[in-house]
Amino acid sequence: MSIITITTDAYNNGRSLAESVAQAMGYPCIGDEMATLASETYEVTESKLVQALKTSPPFFDRLFSRRQRYIAYLEAVISDKMLCQDIVYHGVVGLPVIRQVSHAFKVRVVANIEDRIRIFIKKEHLSGKVEARDRIFKEDEDRKRWARRIYGIDISDSSIYDLVVNIGHMGAEDTEDAVETIVGTAKHKKFKPMTYSLNCMKNIALSCKIKAAFCQIDPKMEVKSDRGTVYVFTGAFRRKKQDQLIDLKQQIMKLDGVEHAEVYVKKEIFDSKSRGH
């Protein structure tokens, strides 16, 4: 299925542009509402999932494991949507997870600060441009800090996108031109789903589903899938706890799409212990 991801900074009409692209392509547009779906699927309060997408410095370290678990839930529902239908996704959750999917067209939309200030003032009912600028810059930095902590990436780095679009003054003409550029590029043969890239997306969706199902055991669990064979790497168990590893493997085998599963204890944990760390 065709995938277009659109990542933006705050206060630049990114959601509206994503919806326009979706309408032009005839695709559904998804974004913040994925928190609602993840909440229903994994029985987690929606507000907690939304909070996991925000950086809160005083509590971030203390709640990091829980935040990783909530992100795993969101990645699972988003990757499943990307597997099952043509889609335009506005957001950054899961962006690095699908980096190997060649038909996933990754777009970054930027705008100049003056126009973002104008949108911020209108939306937040402020009058001071200096305060608006400071708050926008703070939110930008919070988003960058979040992405670095969760994924180890700089979301403003143009090299992780296939296309960067500057909407300029964000007038009707600018937005129309941006939509036309994105839609035109999305139709390039490079972004057409092929057997290999579809299998890659299928592997990713299965991996995300398994991690979401068992991340309460270990939020740092790593899961890799290859055509129904699943490899799980966890630091939750000691090597001597073979019965726990076998039980986890049996639970994984019950999931749809899993034909074989292997569960491994992360080697580096024991290497570290042997050095007395």
Kind and range of the H or E element at 146? helix 129-151
For residue 238, the model assigns a pLDDT of 67
Locate tokens 């057997």: which residue?
Answer: 195
Four-residue CA torsion sign, 239, 241, 242, 246: negative
Q: What is the pLDDT of residues 179-212, one digit of tens each?
A: 999 999 999 999 999 999 999 999 999 999 999 9
Give the residue range(s) of CATH 3.40.50.300 domains in the chain. Answer: 3-191
Give dist(CA 229, CA 213) in Å, integer. Answer: 16
Q: Which residue in 37, 107, 24 sits closest to 79, CA to CA?
A: 37
For residue 56, the model assigns a pLDDT of 54
Four-residue CA torsion sign, 131, 133, 134, 135: positive
For residue 65, the model assigns a pLDDT of 83
Q: Residues 57, 58, 59, 62: what is their CA dihedral angle, to the nearest 10 degrees?
A: 100
For residue 270, the model assigns a pLDDT of 44
Give dist(CA 239, CA 247) in Å, integer. Answer: 14
Q: How far is CA 18 from CA 161, 172, 175, 184, 230, in A?
A: 16, 14, 10, 14, 34
| Tokens of residue 108, six digits | 């970054």
Q: Which residues of the chain carry a pLDDT beneath 70?
A: 55-63, 169-173, 238-241, 267-277
Using a 10 angstrom Cβ sphere, with 0-12 exposed, 13-18 middle and 19 or more buried, the burial of residue 263 is buried
Residue type at 70 in one-letter notation: Y
For residue 55, the model assigns a pLDDT of 61
Neighbours of 223 (CB within 10 A): 24
- Strands lying side by side in the sheet with 229-234: 222-226, 229-234, 260-265
Q: What is the pTM assigned to this prediction? A: 0.88
For residue 62, the model assigns a pLDDT of 60
For residue 274, the model assigns a pLDDT of 43
DSSP state of 227: T
| Residues pairing with 264 in the sheet | 233
Neighbours of 111 (CB within 10 A): 23
For residue 239, the model assigns a pLDDT of 58
Pick among 3.40.50.300, 3.40.47.10, 3.40.50.800, 3.40.30.10: CATH of 3-191? 3.40.50.300
